[in-house]
Amino acid sequence: MGIKTAGKLLYYRLKKKLFAMRYHKRWRQGLSYSSWATLAKRHNLPPFEQCFATLHNNNLCGQIWSDELFKTSIPARWHDKQAVYQQADAVADGRISILGFDRLQLPEGPIPWHEDVTHAVKSPVGWQRDFYQHISILSQEENVCAHILRQAQDERLFSVRPDGEPAGHSLSFAKVRMEGAERDRTHDIKVPWELSRSQHLFVLGLGYHYAIQDRDHVRMERYAATFTRHCTDWLDNNPFLQGVNWTNPMEVAIRAINWTWAFYFFKAAPEITPALWERFITALYDHAIYLEHHWEISDKPNNHYLANVIGYLYLCNFFAPLIKRFKWLQRQTLSQLCIAWKDQMLHDGTSYEGSSAYHSLVTEMVLHGILIDRYTYRKLPDTLTTLFKRMHEVTGHLAYAPDALLHIGDNDSGTIVTGLAYTPTQAPQLQTYQHFGLTIMRQPDWLLTFRHPAYKPEQPTGHFHQDALSFTLSAHGMPLFIDPGTYLYTSHAAARNYLRSVGSHNTFFISSAQGLEMPSDLFQLPQQPQAWHATITHNDGQVTIQDHHAGYGPPGLCAWRRMVISTQENIIRCTDWWEIMDGYSGDDALGSTWVLSLAPGLDALQENDTTWLLKRESRPLATITTSVAYSIKPSFAAPAYGAQLPTTLLTATAGIDTMPMEFAIQLL
């Protein structure tokens, strides 16, 4: 990483440690958080009424909301009053959507800010009571040990092999999942984090904004009362640096962004008392102090650091009219933002984290950064606006239907405020993102992606999947062959590793190969650096894509895949083979495994030994013809974080001496 980077990391770690040591003593004395009196004394501020009027006049969020770039970049539902009212009414009724768990019903009493409410067992007491530095997320090893212990007590061993089958037991993975996965998983820390991101306060605030326009006083009062209840309850139960909601700087930053938007929408609400606004504003100040000492900087910075910077920019702008130091800090932070974007963006306008969902998340951050700069200092170069447009174009190429993005790599269902609009590119075209490692073939009725092995050592690997030479395919706005998603991160290590493994993707591999085992770190996935070697040709209605890699085979074997796509006949023909290289051991017992991962809701009907018909309900969508016999196995997919839907895999095995292997997909 170099001496300069190492020194920088050491400096920030030391700064964070000294902050924790200093504030731990204050926390034990109940003095860690700020009050308006201490804040006013520290910065020589005038009376609160005058300060509130100054903050009231800050219109950054209003300028962003009215900006044409913002309007056209966010989903259309945010401009639909009735759709917003429906969401805000649900929040007022205590029904809040979290990740892929659908709407959760909050109790009438205290709000469970520190609970994984999707789990039947109460969450650890420390998530609410402990100093933030003393709360740890279970490592994969701890999760696996806990799972094995529970399953051993049930006389079941659940250990996923690379081919997707549980080792040492006759039950299929899907049956284990359907019968016991919910019991086997531990508490998921992302559930309380997501609730405390307070994105539902943005929904309430926007509903209040529309209710003012419609002079709907009933909704205005109801939304303001719900905002008051949620803010008061959060402030009462989440003292500065106490509990699970202060453990992750990215979560603190996103909460600060949504609180800032909520302040903009509710600042004129007569139902909200000055006393609550005092607590609210001082808590936002504590968010700023926290972020100043907890930058998520690393030798391979990722979306967390970008979120830190965007959140801090919002806070700097919020407090700049009152506190001069934030004006200077905002200029400095804008400079850091520009550097972070350049570090994390590939030359083709894609995120270097190897995930379509995280590309979308970073694109939303870029949008907010550009607009903050547009209405403050105009310090960022205009090239970043061009970069944002390129980034947003990528989401258009990956959208298989309006606001429906194809999964490539991890998907944690995260957004900053509103998420982005996904508008599918209309014109048929062939698009290649060489640095990301993806070719996209779009036709009027279908969309195909081909995953190339393209990785450089400076990229983080935590959100990659073992998907080299894999493909996805959608037809008529419906997914057919998919990347299965993420499901959960730390709370179910076995399922996490299963879904990101080669055995869950539309590719092939040597079943007994070394290098298929998952690492002990849930947010690392070893990748072999590989330069671009793909061959792509487009002639007379026929597209050929060919690439190779040596990542999932023993020494001396290289995997090759060629896809020939007939745009006139809507046929995709695939040929796979192994190339013997220097050092091949000559083991004739080696076998290859092929996987086709089908989308939830698809029925696979076997017509003969080598032909399958894919149907959704009663509608035929495609046929698959193969040169070897496939069998069907139950599995599951995660269309959103925490969601799980039953699905199926088509798998086949054969010796490497039977290569090449071929299959064809005829779209109907």
Q: What is the pLDDT of residues 374-395, one digit of tens each?
A: 999 888 888 888 889 999 999 9
Helix (H, G, I), strand (E, B) or coil at 63: helix
- What CA–CA distance (Å, rounded) separates 314 from 179? 46
Contact indicator for 627, 663 with CB cutoff of 8 Å: yes
Contact indicator for 320, 312 with CB cutoff of 8 Å: no
- What CA–CA distance (Å, rounded) separates 634 from 644? 13
- What CA–CA distance (Å, rounded) separates 340 from 184? 39
Cis (ω within 30 of 0) for the bond into 660? yes
pLDDT at residue 516, as a whole number: 62
Residue 256 exposure: Cα atoms within 13 Å on the Cβ side: 31
pLDDT at residue 134, as a whole number: 93
DSSP β-ladder status, 508-510 and 591-597: antiparallel
Dihedral class, residue 116 (left if φ above 0, else alpha if ψ from -120 to 50, else beta): beta
Which range, of 46-55, 125-134, 333-342, 364-373, averages the lowest pLDDT?
333-342
pLDDT at residue 340, as a whole number: 87
Using one digit for the tens of pLDDT, what is the confidence trace for 604-641?
999 999 999 999 999 999 999 999 899 999 999 999 99
- What CA–CA distance (Å, rounded) separates 499 from 493? 10
Scanning the structure block, which residue is given the tokens 């292997």? 661
pLDDT at residue 217, as a whole number: 97
**Partners of 263 in the β-ladder:** none
- What CA–CA distance (Å, rounded) separates 72 from 280? 31
Contact indicator for 630, 496 with CB cutoff of 8 Å: no
Specify burial of residue 606 (Cβ count, 10 A radius: 0-12, 13-18, 19+): middle
pLDDT at residue 7, as a whole number: 85
Question: In whole numbers, what is the pLDDT of the chain averaged over residues?
Answer: 89
pLDDT at residue 2, as a whole number: 74
Contact indicator for 474, 447 with CB cutoff of 8 Å: yes
pLDDT at residue 149, as a whole number: 37
- What CA–CA distance (Å, rounded) separates 415 from 419? 5
Residue 334 exposure: Cα atoms within 13 Å on the Cβ side: 24
pLDDT at residue 155, as a whole number: 31
Count H helices and E strands in the chain, helices first.
19, 21
Mean pLDDT of 271-287: 97
Residue 532's CB is within 10 A of a number of other CB atoms, namely 12
Scanning the structure block, which residue is given the tokens 């990659």? 464
Mean pLDDT of 59-68: 97
Contacts of 470 (CB under 8 A, 6+ apart): 451, 483, 505, 506, 507
Indicate the pLDDT class of residue 245, thresholds 50, 70 and 90: very high
pLDDT at residue 287, as a whole number: 98
pLDDT at residue 234, as a whole number: 98
Q: Is the pLDDT of residue 211 over 90?
A: yes
Q: Is the pLDDT of residue 514 over 70?
A: no
Helix (H, G, I), strand (E, B) or coil at 399: strand
pLDDT at residue 164, as a whole number: 39
Contacts of 359 (CB under 8 A, 6+ apart): 350, 351, 353, 391, 394, 395, 436
pLDDT at residue 172, as a whole number: 32
Using one digit for the tens of pLDDT, what is the confidence trace for 79-114?
999 999 999 999 999 999 999 887 889 988 899 999
Which range, of 127-136, 241-250, 337-346, 449-458, averages the lowest pLDDT?
337-346
Residue 429 exposure: Cα atoms within 13 Å on the Cβ side: 10
Indicate the pLDDT class of residue 171, thresholds 50, 70 and 90: very low
Using one digit for the tens of pLDDT, what is the confidence trace for 523-582?
989 888 888 999 999 988 899 999 999 876 666 788 999 999 999 999 999 999 988 887
Contact indicator for 167, 160 with CB cutoff of 8 Å: yes
Residue 270: closest CA among 231, 218, 220: 220
Q: Is the pLDDT of residue 30 over 90?
A: no
Mean pLDDT of 502-517: 80
Percentage of the residues of the chain whose pLDDT score is greater than 70: 90
Percentage of the residues of the chain whose pLDDT score is greater than 90: 71
Q: Is the pLDDT of residue 140 over 60?
A: no
Residue 556 exposure: Cα atoms within 13 Å on the Cβ side: 9
Scanning the structure block, which residue is given the tokens 């039947």? 120
- What CA–CA distance (Å, rounded) separates 306 from 319? 20
What's the distance, CA 360 to chain centroid?
Answer: 8
- What CA–CA distance (Å, rounded) separates 231 from 238? 10
The dihedral through the CA atoms of 652, 657, 658, 661 has a sign that is: positive
pLDDT at residue 582, as a whole number: 76
Mean pLDDT of 254-264: 98
- What CA–CA distance (Å, rounded) separates 506 from 188? 29
* Structural domains of the chain in order of their starting residue, each with its CATH number: 3-27+48-118+189-405 (1.50.10.100), 429-667 (2.70.98.70)
Residue 653 exposure: Cα atoms within 13 Å on the Cβ side: 10
- What CA–CA distance (Å, rounded) separates 78 from 63? 16
